[in-house]
Structure 1
C-alpha cells in the first residue's frame, strides 16, 4: 500500500469510525501530506509501513525551522493519530511517533470582546443595505448562542424552535445540541427572515438554510470572517478578531455573570469539561471577587 491509498483509507476511518467533520479530516490529512512532500523532496522511498522513527525525526527537525511550537505540536499529534490507525488496522507493529515528544507550549487563552465592543461592532452595521439586517442577525446569533462559524452557516430554518426558546445546532461530527436563544436574538432573525430573506431568489438545495448570500446560496466561512473584519476596521478596533471571538466572549460573559460551567459546556457543545475550563482562566479578577463573596472565611 502506498501513501495515497493509506491516506484515503485513513480519511474513511476518520469520517466513519470517528465521525469527524470535513474540516477536521482535512487538517489531519494535511499533516500526513506534509510528511509525504518531505519524503519526495529528499528522494526517500519509505512507505507508511516501513518509515522509521529516524526519518520522521528528520521531518520534525525541518518542520521546527519554519513553524512555531504550537503548529509543530499539532503536526506531531496528527502523525501520531495516523500511525496509531495503522497499528490498529495491523498494518504496522509499532508507532514510530511513540518516543517523539511535542514541544512544550503554554495554554493559549482565547481573545474576548467586552460587551461594549460587541455593541459597537453591531452598531456599525449599515442597516440601509439589504445585507445589513442579515449581518446584524448573524452577529447576534454568533454571540447570543455561542456558535462556531460552521454551525452558523449550516443553521436551518427548521432548526429554529422559537416557541420553546431554543435552536438546534449541528456541531462537530454532526452531533446535535439544543441551545437557548434570547428574545432579542429571535427578534433580529425574524426581521431578517420576514423583511429581507423572503425577497431573495433561493437556489435549489438551499431552501432551508437560514443565512443566504445575494445569490441565494449558503454563506461561506470566509464571508463571515470578511464581515467581521470590515466591521472591526470601521470602529477602529485594535484587537485581531474572528467569528470564534464571539463564541469565546459568549462563554466568558456567561461565566462572569455567574453561569454554571457545566451549563456553558452543554451550550458550547464541548465533549469534555476540560475544554470549557479554559474560560476559568480568562478573568482572574472575577474569580477573586467570587471567592471573596462566597468563601465562608470572608
Structure 2
C-alpha cells in the first residue's frame, strides 16, 4: 500500500461512493498531498505506517505555519475520510485518525441587512437600463429564497414552479431541494422573464438559464458580486456585503420572525442543524425579547 495507489483510489471513492462536489474533492486531494509530503520528509512512512502521534505532529506543524483553525478542521476531515476509506477498501486494521479531535472553531457571525437596507438596495436599481429588471428579479430571488450565488446563476427555467410557489434548487454535491418562493420574487421574476428576457438573444446552450448576461450566457459569480457592490456604493451602505449577505438575511429574518429552525435548515440546504443555529445568535435585542416574553422569572 503506497501513497500513489492509495490517493488514486481515494479520489475514485470520493467521486463514486461519496458523490462529493468537485471543489471538495480537490481540497481533500491537496490536504492528503500535504500529509504525504510531511510523512516523506519526516521518515518516509507509507499510509498504513502512520500513527495517531504522527497525525498530531502533522496538525501541530500546520498550526505553527499559521493555518487557520477552520482550514485545520478541513484537513482533519480529509484525513479521517482517507483513513476510513483505507479501512473499508484496503483492509487497514487500525485507523490512526479515529479518535482524533479537531481544533475548536469560533463561529463568526455573518453580516446581515435589515429590511430597510434591502429595500434601499432594490430601489437603487436603474430600471431604465436593459439589465435593470434582471437585477431586481435576481435580488428578490436571492433574498426571497435564501440561495447561494452558485445556485442563483445555475437556476433553470425548468426548475421554476411559480404556479405552486416553489423552485427546485441544485445545491452543494448536486443535492436537490424544493424552496418556497414568495410573492414579490414571483412578481418580478415573471416581469423579467415575460417582458425583458424574451427580447434578449440567447447563446446556444443557455436557453434554459433564468439569469443571462448581455451576451446571452449565464451570469458569473463575479458579475453578481459586482452588481451588489455597485448598488451598495449607490446608497452609501457602510456594510461589506456580498451575494451571501442576502442568504444570511433571509435566514435571520425568518428565525427572528418565529420560523422553525428545522424548516429554515431545509430551505437553506444545510446538512447539519448546527450550521443553521448560528442565525439564532445574530440579533441580541431579539434574544432579550425572547427572555422577556418566555422566561418565567423575567
- Shorter-chain TM band: 0.7 to 0.9
- Once residues 130 and 120 of structure 2 are traced to their aligned partners in structure 1, the CA distance between those partners, rounded to angstroms, is 20
- Once residues 246 and 166 of structure 2 are traced to their aligned partners in structure 1, the CA distance between those partners, rounded to angstroms, is 19
Residue 152 (structure 1) shift? 1.2
Residue deviations 1:167-206 (CA, integer Å, cap 9, x gap)? 1112223222221112211122122222332233322322
Counterparts of 1:79-118 in structure 2 under 5 Å? 79-98=79-98, 100-118=100-118
* Matching residue of 1:260: 260
Residue 250 (structure 1) shift? 0.3
Report if the CA contact (8 A) 1:155-1:169 is conserved.
yes
* Matching residue of 2:226: 226
Matched, 1:286 2:286: yes
- Once residues 4 and 213 of structure 2 are traced to their aligned partners in structure 1, the CA distance between those partners, rounded to angstroms, is 36
- Once residues 4 and 129 of structure 1 are traced to their aligned partners in structure 2, the CA distance between those partners, rounded to angstroms, is 55
**How many residue pairs align between the two structures?**
297
* Matching residue of 2:60: 61
- Report the CA distance shift for 1:289/1:178 in structure 2 as closer, same or farther (over 3 A): same
Q: Secondary structure at the match of 1:138?
A: helix
Q: Secondary structure at the match of 1:82?
A: helix
Residue 83 (structure 1) shift? 1.9
- Once residues 175 and 188 of structure 2 are traced to their aligned partners in structure 1, the CA distance between those partners, rounded to angstroms, is 26
Residue deviations 1:108-131 (CA, integer Å, cap 9, x gap)? 322211112222222333333322
* Matching residue of 2:165: 165
Structure 2: which 5+ runs fail to align? none
Residue 256 (structure 1) shift? 1.2
Report if the CA contact (8 A) 1:49-1:91 is conserved.
no
- Report the CA distance shift for 1:12/1:242 in structure 2 as closer, same or farther (over 3 A): farther
- Report the CA distance shift for 1:26/1:224 in structure 2 as closer, same or farther (over 3 A): farther
- Report the CA distance shift for 1:153/1:33 in structure 2 as closer, same or farther (over 3 A): farther
- Report the CA distance shift for 1:270/1:57 in structure 2 as closer, same or farther (over 3 A): closer
* Matching residue of 2:273: 273
- Report the CA distance shift for 1:24/1:233 in structure 2 as closer, same or farther (over 3 A): farther
Residue 294 (structure 1) shift? 4.4
Q: Secondary structure at the match of 1:31?
A: helix
Structure 1: which 5+ runs fail to align? none
Residue 251 (structure 1) shift? 0.9
The alignment's TM-score, normalised by the length of structure 1, stands at 0.86
Residue deviations 1:55-96 (CA, integer Å, cap 9, x gap)? 544432332122222222222222222222222213533333
Counterparts of 1:133-282 in structure 2 under 5 Å? 133-282=133-282
- Report the CA distance shift for 1:101/1:175 in structure 2 as closer, same or farther (over 3 A): closer
Q: Secondary structure at the match of 2:131?
A: helix
Report if the CA contact (8 A) 1:211-1:219 is conserved.
yes
- Once residues 37 and 194 of structure 1 are traced to their aligned partners in structure 2, the CA distance between those partners, rounded to angstroms, is 56
- Once residues 190 and 256 of structure 1 are traced to their aligned partners in structure 2, the CA distance between those partners, rounded to angstroms, is 29
* Matching residue of 2:47: 48
